[in-house]
Amino acid sequence: MAGMLDPALTTIASSAVTDGLAAIDAASTLEALRSVDAELLGKAAPLSQLKASMRDVAPEQRKALGQAINEARTRLELAIADRHAELEAIARREQLAAEQLDLSEVIADRRVGHHHLITQTREMLEDAFVGLGFTVAEGPEVETDWYNFEALNMPAGHSARSMWDTLYLDAGEPETVLLRTHTSPVQVRTMMRQEPPIYIVAPGRSFRSDTADATHLPVFHQIEGLVVDKGITFADLAGTIEAFVKVLYGDDRTTRLRPSYFPFTEPSAEFDMTTATGEWVELGGCGMVNPNVLAHCGLDPEEWSGFAFGFGIERMAMQRHGLDDIREFVTNDIRFLSQF
Amino acid sequence: MKVTHTWLAEFVPGLLDHPVGGDPDALGDVMSAIGLCCEEVVKVGAGLDGIAVAEVLELAPHPNADKIQLVQVRVDPDGEPLQVCCGAFNMSVGDKVPLATIGTTMPNGMEIARRKLRGEWSNGMLCAAEEMGVAEMGVGDDHAGILILDPSLALGTPIKEALGIEVDAVFDLDLTPNRPDALSIIGVARDVAAKLGLEFVLPAIDVSTSGAPAGDLASVRIDDPDLCGRFTVRVLSGVTIGSSPSWMQQRLTHCGMRPINSVVDISNYVMLEYGQPNHTYDLATVPNGALAVRRAKPGEDLVTLDGQTRTLEERDGVIVNGADQPIGIAGVMGGQSTEISDATESVLLELAWWDPASISYTSKRLGLRSEASSRYEKGADPEIAGRAAWRLAQLLVEQGATLHPGEIVAEGNVPASITVDVRTARVNALLATRLTTDEIRGYLEPIGFACAATSDVDVLAVTIPSWRPDSTAEIDIVEEVARLHGYERLGKTVPKSATGGGLTARQLDIRRLRSFLTSVGASEAMPMSFLAPGDLEASGVRADGVTVANPLVAEESVLRTSLLSGLVKTLGYNAAHRNLGLSLFEVGHCFAQAPDGAVPLEWEEVAVVLGGRDVVAAVELSLRLTTLIGIDDVTIRNEPVGGLHPGRSAIVAAGGVAIGVVGEIDPEVCRRRGVAERVGYLSFVLGGDEAWHGDAGLLSVPRSDGVYRPISRFPSSDVDLAFVVDDSIGADELAAVLRSAGGELVTDVELFDVFRGDSVGEGRRSLAYRLRIQAPDRTLTDTELGSVRDSLVTAAGSVGGTLRA
């Protein structure tokens, strides 16, 4: 019977497996499983004891016993790993179930700020013109008589000055420093600073001595365009106006120019666009830059020609959004600001 | 300016028969197309065709109604009487009244039909003046009911004929200030005729004269030739004041003038027709008929036609009598002492050309704007006075007056006639047209711009007519050509921009700022730039605000020096509407007095108010904002700031330069505006590269050069150090000390805890920093780390910081 294992030893090994598997199965938590692990495979575990007693076994049986112990250990280890995975899955399920929330009952701060409607309209216009190859120019709101009137072909006493009700400031000589009545001084500043070609739009605040009512504010916003280049024609003016109206409103819109008068442009025009329903609405004023203005800014009118146009940002925003009272723009009621 | 269709036709004979010119609506469009913007066309005398003169035969009560009576009328002398139900009771048997017969469409569109009223037939309608649309023409004095007509009128006479109503159309023109010539019937007629290709005619005026030569009865002298360019006088006698003819009253009424009496009406009529204001003196009140023109002497006064005493200044022009006493303010208003009256027998007519700037000055100074002064200040035609004087005389003579022979004219300085060269190539280059020189001449000559050939066949010498003071240069002629050629015929092309479009870095930064602020829940407000007196002081911000010299209302008379006041006001407005906890921001210009008192300082700011949130939120937001812009070296320096809570305010500096402020708004400032909650505040000057952008600001701080720096591959260590320091040492200040002591090995210094309590002592607190230590080129040894730590502790000690055990 050399090499045959003592049946008593075999029984110990197999019962260790049977009992072990039962204990693993019975472990209902990861923690319990950890103790079971220690019990079955730790130093005091039956299999460990059995291994310790190997030296007492006849040498020819040792190999068989060692093999039996290793098989038993492997079976238990696999069972523990399986059970561990199972218990982990259960624990995850339980945790997720415990953490379940009704997301619709979250008390959320859903406030997001809003750009002012004037800014939105201004940026929309800027973007349209940038797309047409324009840059954006700016200038101060406090101006001198020279930039606001004189350089724009309105010397002192010029009758056209009465077209603008001017707010003068207590600074310098009387009636020399003022709040700009239009964004046109930016034209002058640009031409004085920069050699043509010039393709700019100048949005900004303007001021007039107007009593606030549904259609007037003493403080409002304009956007002004200026092109100075070689060979610029009246047709370029009409075409540019048509182009930006189509960019902003769509290809089905059209525009027209009607003769008008501004001291800084000649020929001058008012420009109209069609509405979605085909009626004409007035948009702004425009014209070819008056040669006197070019000359005031140091440009030779025989070499350069140009056009300028301008219109009110509030009025355009009102048309686009169905507003009928311009005073909403300065009240800054959050119920107004957050609508757009 | 209003003009009427029939009046224009007196100067454009083919107008009413022209397919476009004869149609008022189409004609209005033509006017707009040539720059005489026609805002409205009103047709008058329409809807009167079925109304005729009828006689009241019998009046009887309506059996079933108290407020209606039954009237038997006869309109056809040979026909049967007709029964009409009428709600008015002001007529008597035998009266002649207007009857709207069956089938008439009234001016208001109502159709007259045979119908029963409370069981009785009504065969038409008796009319009141309003119902016929003639009340506004001065027909029918009372509003008592049916218009009672002249008893001598024949039955069946059409009412238009009976009342002398001229069928007409009234064009309401919104004229631009460069066209004083169009403030007259002839001016509009000339343009319209040219556009339609019709002839423009000034009819001959033939008036016989008698009596003493005018020169024996009157004289005129100009003492200031710059004030008065020309002064024309005519003398008439036998002038009686009555009422002017109906046709004249109607036209005056259409054009917005109230008929007064024959003399005043004729004066106004001629002013409207020729654009030449004029004045009438009672000759008996002007000794020897002697008139002179000069500037006023300071302190001189006179009583004007409206009964007011006017004190004059040196710049005012006056008309004086032979005794050198003022009897009228030149071009503005006549004097009471020479006013015509029922006793007037002979008159002096004055037709003058005044210097526009002088008239503008005086009428503005005295607040006297009239039809006359507005024509003079825009520039009347210096050559029209003679013709207008004949026309005045003609109309007065038709009223029974006698014109004395001779015209007295004194000459001053009138604007010289201007001739400019007009290059066909230039016209075409600006208008993108291919007009020939002859075509250009064809547009200009009908509107009175005389064209002469020059040595260059494609250059015309164009003489500008006296009635177009707006035109002085070639470009003005280009505009005339464009106008008459038609803007709608000019092309539409898009210039090829040689420059690339785009926004500047600064403009993009401002857009980023706005987007960032909205993403953290702030909405953009745009209050007006004006404040009321005292607002700056009440807000605690800098008080050297610029004031408006001519404000409309006091509440809008000071320019803001800070965005704070407007934003707190806005919070207050919203709080009053129960909207609290708002975050608002603004990007806007601020202004302050310049040290030299000249052009004020101006700069742009961004400011944020955080309603219901305190200084911590404000500091946090200001640091996020500077980080967004890419500024690393930001310090918060505790310092009282005007308008802010003195213990909760600081200057935000970059590289040691102040660029903004942060804190909490002074609770008292909030309370004054009805804001009860705490309000966090931050503001930055934006700065930039232009003079008016103001001093250093958020967007002018030098930023990272954008050049890549290698990231260290060697491990970093974090060291936490807490120092107890005096409250007077700012946390940022200590951080800066640590950063500089650590040199390049300390890559990050972050404050992570602040502790105050008994254990650190009164007036002190513990500031705990986490310092990240790392070398770019090696792993630091423990010894090296220790020495860095030691140098940090030593540095903190230099500002009184002791390492907290």
What amino acid is encoded at B223 in this protein? D
**CB proximity under 8 Å: B 525-584 to A:** 525-530, 546-553, 556, 559, 570, 573-574, 577, 579, 582-584
SS3 assignment for A13-40: HHHHHHHHHHHHHHCCCHHHHHHHHHHH
- Count of positions (residues) in chain B: 805
- Segment B319-360, tens digit of pLDDT: 999 999 999 999 999 999 999 988 899 999 999 999 999 999
Query: Does the N-terminal peptide bond of residue B465 adopt cis geometry, omega within 30 degrees of 0?
Result: no
The whole-number average pLDDT for the span B388-402 is 96
Which chain A residue has its CA at the smallest distance from B179's CA? A261
What is chain B's mean pLDDT, rounded?
Answer: 93
With an 8 Å Cβ cutoff, is B521 touching chain A?
A: yes
Residues of B in contact with A313 (CB under 8 A): none
Whether B534 shows a pLDDT value over 80: the answer reads yes
Q: Which residues of B touch A247 (CB under 8 A)?
A: none
Domain at A117-337, CATH class = alpha beta
In angstroms, the first-to-last Cα distance of chain B is 91
CA atoms of B651 and B654, how far apart (whole Å) = 10
B743: alpha, beta or left? (left if phi > 0; alpha if psi -120 to 50):
left
Amino acid at B264: V
- The C-alpha atoms of residue B307 and residue B4 are separated, in whole angstroms, by 33
Tokens of B127: 């009319």
Residue B504 has pLDDT above 90, yes or no: yes
What 3-state class would DSSP assign to B369? coil
Residue-wise pLDDT for B240-273, tens only, equals 999 999 899 999 999 999 999 999 999 999 999 9
Find the CB nearest A238 among B490, B518, B546: B490
Q: What element of type H or E holds B603?
A: strand B601-611
Other CB atoms within 10 A of residue B153 CB: 18
Please check whether residue B614 touches A, CB under 8 A: no
| Other beta carbons within 10 Å of B346 | 22
| Whether A113 and B552 lie within 8 Å, measured CB to CB | no
How far is Cα B544 from Cα B556, in angstroms, rounded to an integer? 16
In sequence order, the 6+-apart residues with CB closer than 8 A to the CB of B557 are: B530, B532, B533, B547, B548, B551
Report yes or no: B489 at the A interface, CB cutoff 8 Å: no
Full 3-state SS string of B23-73: CHHHHHHHHHHCCCEEEEEEEECCCCCCEEEEEEEEEEEECCEEEEEEEEE
| Dist. CA B621–CA B680, nearest whole Å | 10
Give the residue-averaged pLDDT of B668-673.
94
Peptide bond into A267 cis (omega under 30): yes
Q: What is the pLDDT of residues B730-762, one digit of tens each?
A: 898 899 999 999 998 999 999 999 999 988 889
String of b and e for B724-756 (b: at least 16 CB within 10 Å)?
bbeeebbbbbbbbbbbebbeebbeebeeeeeee
Segment B138-166 mean pLDDT: 82
| Residue B632 contacts A, CB cutoff 8 Å | no
- Which chain A residues are within 8 Å of B600, Cβ to Cβ? 142, 169, 171, 177
Render pLDDT for B579-622 as a digit per residue (tens, 0 to 9). Answer: 999 999 999 999 999 988 889 999 999 999 999 999 999 999 99
**Most A-contacting residue of B364, B550, B613 (CB-CB within 10 A), to test interface:** B550
Amino acid at residue number A330: V
Contacts of A280 by beta carbon, 8 Å cutoff, 6+ apart = A256, A272, A273, A274
From A234's Cα to the closest Cα of chain B, the distance in A is 5
Show which of residues 381-410 on chain B sit within 8 Å of chain A, judged by CB atoms: none
Answer whether A210 touches B (CB < 8 Å): yes
Beta partners for residue B334, in sequence order: B328
By CA distance, what is A167's nearest residue in B?
A: B550
* Residue B612 CB-density burial (10 A; 0-12 exposed, 13-18 middle, 19+ buried): middle
Type of residue found at B748: D
B360, B489, B528, B602: best mutation site toward chain A, by most A Cβ within 10 Å?
A: B528
**Which two three-digit tokens encode residue A306?**
């140009």
Q: Buried (b) or exposed (e) across A107-145, using 16+ Cβ within 10 A? A: eeeeeebbbbbbbbbbbbbbebbbebbbbbbbbbbbbbb
Instruction: List chain A residues with CB under 8 Å of B500.
Output: 133
In angstroms, the CA B423 to CA B419 distance is: 13
Average pLDDT (B116-122) is 90
Domain range list for chain A: 7-99, 117-337
Collect contacts of A250-255 with beta carbons under 8 A, ≥24 apart.
Answer: A252/A276, A255/A283
Report how far residue B467's alpha carbon sits from residue B380's, in angstroms, rounded to the nearest whole number: 7
Residues on chain A touching B530 (C-beta within 8 angstroms): 218-219
pLDDT band at B167 (very low <50, low <70, confident <90, very high): confident
Is B229 in CB contact (< 8 Å) with chain A?
Answer: no
Of A141, A305, A337, the CB nearest to B523: A337
pLDDT at B480 over 50: yes
Q: Which of B195, B499, B574, B613 to mutate to test the interface with A (most CBs of A within 10 A)?
A: B499
Q: Please tell me whether residue A256 adopts helix, strand or coil conformation.
A: strand
Q: Which two tokens stand for residue A65?
A: 């016993």
Under the banding of pLDDT at 50, 70 and 90, the label for residue B140 is: low
Look at strands B346-354 and B408-411 and give their pairing. unpaired
Of B498, B525, B559, the CB nearest to A229: B498
Contacts of B502 in chain A (CB under 8 A): 130, 135
Q: Do A132 and B501 touch (CB under 8 A)?
A: yes
- Does B431 contact A at CB distance below 8 Å? yes
A254-275 as b/e: b if 16+ CB within 10 A = ebbbbbbbbbbbbbbbbbbbbe
Given a cut of 60, whether residue B764 has pLDDT beyond it is yes
Residue B166 has which token pair? 């001229």
**Residue A105 to chain B, least CA–CA distance (Å):** 22
ipTM of the complex in this document: 0.85
B551·A167 Cβ contact <8 A: yes
Which range has the worst mean pLDDT, A238-247, B489-498, B555-564? B489-498
pLDDT tens for chain A, residues 1 to 340: 445 667 777 788 888 888 889 999 999 999 999 999 998 888 888 888 888 887 887 788 888 888 888 888 899 999 999 999 999 999 999 999 999 988 888 888 778 999 999 999 999 999 999 999 999 999 999 999 999 999 999 988 777 787 788 999 999 999 999 999 999 999 999 999 999 999 999 999 999 998 999 999 999 999 999 999 999 999 999 999 999 999 999 999 999 999 999 999 999 999 999 999 999 999 999 999 999 999 999 999 999 999 999 999 999 999 999 999 999 999 999 999 999 9
Look at residue A169 in the predicted model and tell me its pLDDT: 96
Q: What is the pLDDT of residue B322?
A: 92
CB B548 within 8 A of CB B559: yes
Interface test with A, best of B226, B497, B569 (most A CBs within 10 A): B497
What 8-state DSSP symbol labels residue B742? H
A 128-187 residues inside an 8 A Cβ radius of B: 129-136, 139-142, 144, 157, 159-160, 162-163, 167-172, 174-175, 177, 179
Q: Residue B460 carries which side chain, given as an amino acid letter?
A: L
Task: Summarize pLDDT for B46-83 with one digit per residue, the tens.
Answer: 778 889 999 999 999 999 888 999 999 999 888 889 99
φ, ψ of residue A64 to 5 degrees: the values are -65, -40
Distance of alpha carbon B510 from alpha carbon A57, whole angstroms: 89
Q: Which residue of B has its CA nearest to A339?
A: B523
pLDDT at residue number B335: 94
**Environment class of B25 (CB within 10 Å of its CB; exposed 0-12, middle 13-18, buried 19+):** exposed
3-state secondary structure of A325: coil
pLDDT at B682: 98
Residue B499 forms contact with A (CB below 8 Å): yes
CA distance B8 to B199: 12
Distance between CA atoms of residues B662 and B622, nearest Å: 7
- The mean per-residue pLDDT over the stretch B504-512 comes to 95
- The CA distance from B241 to B341, in Å, is 8
Residue from the list B500, B528, B549 with its beta carbon closest to the beta carbon of A133: B500
Q: Does B595 touch chain A (CB under 8 A)?
A: no
Q: What is the pLDDT of residue A2?
A: 44
